[in-house]
Structure 1
Amino acid sequence: MEILDWIQLWFKNNCDGEWEYGSGIQITTLDNPGWDVEIDVSNTSLATFDIPWILNEHGKQDWYGVKIEDQKFNASGDAGKLKFLLELFKETVEKIERIKES
């Protein structure tokens, strides 16, 4: 499944008449240049998890960071990382769901 299809399905499955009126999913640009993805996970399997900011930097044009804090998934990366950041969110959701099932 393509990442945009997966994100759309994830969003649809989490809409409950209230959650979608909050922050939902925000994708913005950074001025360095880059991307910032913020996803409200307050009503999801990630709600009870906090992950401190992890920065992976291989150079000015090759970096990304991720955290879960205050029930928000936040990932940022260089200008070529938007698809990667969305896939990172998907991987995180799937890992947490596997942990919760164990």
Structure 2
Amino acid sequence: MAPDLRYDPDRPDVWTWLQAWYVAQCDGDWEHGHGITIATLDNPGWQVTVDLTDTGLAPDTYTRREAHRSEDDWCVTWTDDTTFQAACGPANLAEALHEFRLWTTGPAA
């Protein structure tokens, strides 16, 4: 049975969760050389890069995800050797961050 991935009002929104995840990584060292970057793409869309160095997350445990629904409604997420990456349409940034959240915490977190 697939996990229930619908919005749960008892869970923090993805923005609040991401801030908490970032703070949890900050140890006086990690934040000086690593972090999260969110930038715009010119097609238009968003690019997200999360440095996974010293976070305990193993990039090889993430399965690439691609959702292409329309020219402006799409989301692609993947990992490389040291980062989680996302590229998505102009209204799909929360979806991309949700994919990162699901991978790091599981569907119930």
Task: Point out the structure with the larger helix share.
Answer: 1
**Alpha-carbon distance, 1:53 to partner:** 4.5
Aligned length: 95
- TM-score after normalising by structure 1: 0.82
- TM-score after normalising by structure 2: 0.78
Q: Matches of residues 6-85 of structure 1 in structure 2 within 5 Å?
A: 6-46=17-57, 48-50=58-60, 51=62, 53-85=64-96
Structure 2, unpaired ranges of 5+: 1-11
Structure 1, unpaired ranges of 5+: 96-102
Report the Cα distance in structure 2 between the residues aligned to 1:87 and 1:65, rounded to whole angstroms: 12
Task: Point out the structure with the larger strand share.
Answer: 1
Verify the 8 A CA contact 1:63 1:78 in the aligned structure 2.
Answer: yes
Verify the 8 A CA contact 1:52 1:67 in the aligned structure 2.
Answer: yes
Report % sequence identity: 34
